[in-house]
Amino acid sequence: MTQLFEGVGIALASLRASKVRAALTILGVAIGVMVVMVIGSMITGINRGVEDIFNQLGPRTFFVFRFFQAGIQVSDGSDEMSPWRRNPPLTVEEADRIAQLPTIHRVVVDEGAGREVEHGNRKLESVSIRGRGARWAEVSGDIMPGRSFTNLEYAASSRVVVVNEKLASEMFGLLDPIGKWIKISGVPFEVIGVYIPPPDIFGEGNRPEAVIPHSAFSKYIPHWRGWMDFLVTPKENTTVQAAIEDVTAVMRSMRELRPAEENNFAIVTQDKLLDSWNQVTGMFFLVMIALSSVGLMVGGVGVVAIMMISVTERTREIGVRKALGAKRREILWQFLVEAATLTAVGGAIGMLLGGGISFIVANATPLPAKVPMFSVVAALGMSILTGVAFGLYPAARAARLDPVEALRYE
């Protein structure tokens, strides 16, 4: 233990003695650790954001998609691999039938397009236009000021629009947007409300967006057909499983599927969505770990170099220590501790930088980046391990030195 402290002390002293050399050596380690920290914090942040959104939807809400593919897949053009060819688009009729089921509390259809929006001489391109069911506001976002559209307005395909805060401020600045008219794709719509979007992970909350009745969307807004989704919320008194079974049965009967045929639609629960999400972030994480280990490797090679120089420079010291009774193991240990201290300092610097970047990201972007505890431990562990692994060879050389030769070394 005393030797451990002594080793750390010696290491810090020799770091101070050759600052530039040490700084260059630990740069690689610092960068490697920094990358691990930043990526770790971002993934944690993204995951928290995803969970926030799901929490807002309510844990029981599930989705009906035209198809669902988890992770990343490559199409070979066959029908099996091209579900958009096999699966017909979802229809409003299907949504209406699902809504009538006794186990279903609410169905919200959602379809989108990017269109230009005009007000007076102001014009914005590629604004996200969402056509949604009348009850959409119950599942996403608060409307303040104003209101959402009514069932009546929905049924009448009324040209009314709820804009998000971003679009309101870009179009009207500080003016009250309620009652103003905007042109979406050249068609005039009346602004009836402003909604505050849920905290969004990819900064979509910062993009202008407008929500209109889906009926009006189908009627007035040119869009790529076939990409409607349903958000389905079961009744309180039923299980999600029972609701899913009912929805499946209705969909199958409407699509006249025979018992042997597979579903040509996809029902996806939040758990499943979260799973596939985690699969993607897990891949991302692995790639980043691989990249940062390159940094650590580069740092490790630097450690070998600086430790070889250190051993050569201190050959005489090694001889003296041996003369005074240091065993091989103790010399080995001393240099390993020195190497590990070197990389641990690099790791600590990398963690400070990484933590700083995460802090900036968390405050300057909507991404709630947070440095997870495990990445602090992992980063420090990795950097110390790098030091030990790459310090082993120089340290073994030091330990093997012959005391007589070492004492004679000039």
Partner 1 sequence: MTRDGSLIRVSGLTREYRMGAETVHALRGVDMEIYRNEYVAIMGPSGSGKSTLMNIIGCLDTCTVGEYWLNGVEVSGVGDDELARIRNQEIGFVFQTFNLLPRATALHNVELPLIYAGVSAKIRRRCAAQALERVGLADRMQHRPNELSGGQRQRVAIARGLVNEPSILLADEPTGNLDSTTSAEIMGVFDGLHQQGQTVVMVTHERDIAARARRVITLLDGRVHSDTVREAA
Tell whether residue 123 is a contact of partner 1 (CB under 8 A).
Answer: no
Given a contact cutoff of 8 angstroms between Cβ atoms, the answer to whether 315 and 406 are in contact is yes
Residue 295, C-beta contacts closer than 8 angstroms, at least 6 positions apart: 28, 29, 31, 32, 33, 35
- Minimum Å distance from CB 341 to partner 1? 15
Angle between helices 328-364 and 2-17 (to 10 degrees): 70
Tell whether residue 119 is a contact of partner 1 (CB under 8 A).
Answer: no
Element (H, E) at 127: strand 122-132
- Minimum Å distance from CB 17 to partner 1? 7
The Cα 158–Cα 51 span in angstroms is: 34
Tell whether residue 313 is a contact of partner 1 (CB under 8 A).
Answer: no
What does residue 107 show for φ and ψ, rounded to 5 degrees?
-125, 130
Torsion 16-21-24-25 (CA) sign: negative
User: Rule CB under 8 A: which of 385-404 touch partner 1?
Assistant: 403-404
Decide whether 138 or 330 has the Cβ nearer to partner 1.
330
User: Rule CB under 8 A: which of 220-279 touch partner 1?
Assistant: none
Decide whether 118 or 330 has the Cβ nearer to partner 1.
330
- Minimum Å distance from CB 361 to partner 1? 41
Tell whether residue 3 is a contact of partner 1 (CB under 8 A).
Answer: yes
Decide whether 3 or 157 has the Cβ nearer to partner 1.
3
Residues binding partner 1: what is the number (CB under 8 A)?
24
Per CB under 8 A, the segment of 29-37, 248-256, 328-336, 352-360 that binds partner 1 is: 328-336
Per CB under 8 A, the segment of 40-48, 56-64, 189-197, 314-322 that binds partner 1 is: 314-322
Given a contact cutoff of 8 angstroms between Cβ atoms, the answer to whether 224 and 113 are in contact is yes
User: Rule CB under 8 A: which of 13-52 touch partner 1?
Assistant: 13-14, 17
The Cα 379–Cα 254 span in angstroms is: 55
> Contacting partner 1 (CB under 8 A), which of 329, 373, 374, 377?
329
The Cα 240–Cα 234 span in angstroms is: 6
E strands, 156-263, where?
160-164, 181-184, 187-196, 209-213, 229-234
Given a contact cutoff of 8 angstroms between Cβ atoms, the answer to whether 150 and 135 are in contact is no
Residue 135, C-beta contacts closer than 8 angstroms, at least 6 positions apart: 106, 108
- Minimum Å distance from CB 319 to partner 1? 8
Can you read off the two tokens belonging to residue 228? 């409607």
Tell whether residue 330 is a contact of partner 1 (CB under 8 A).
Answer: yes
> Contacting partner 1 (CB under 8 A), which of 105, 119, 132, 321?
321
- Minimum Å distance from CB 21 to partner 1? 16
Partnered with residue 160 across adjacent β-strands are 190
Given the rule CB under 8 A, which residues bind partner 1? 2-3, 6, 10, 13-14, 17, 316-317, 319-330, 403-404, 407
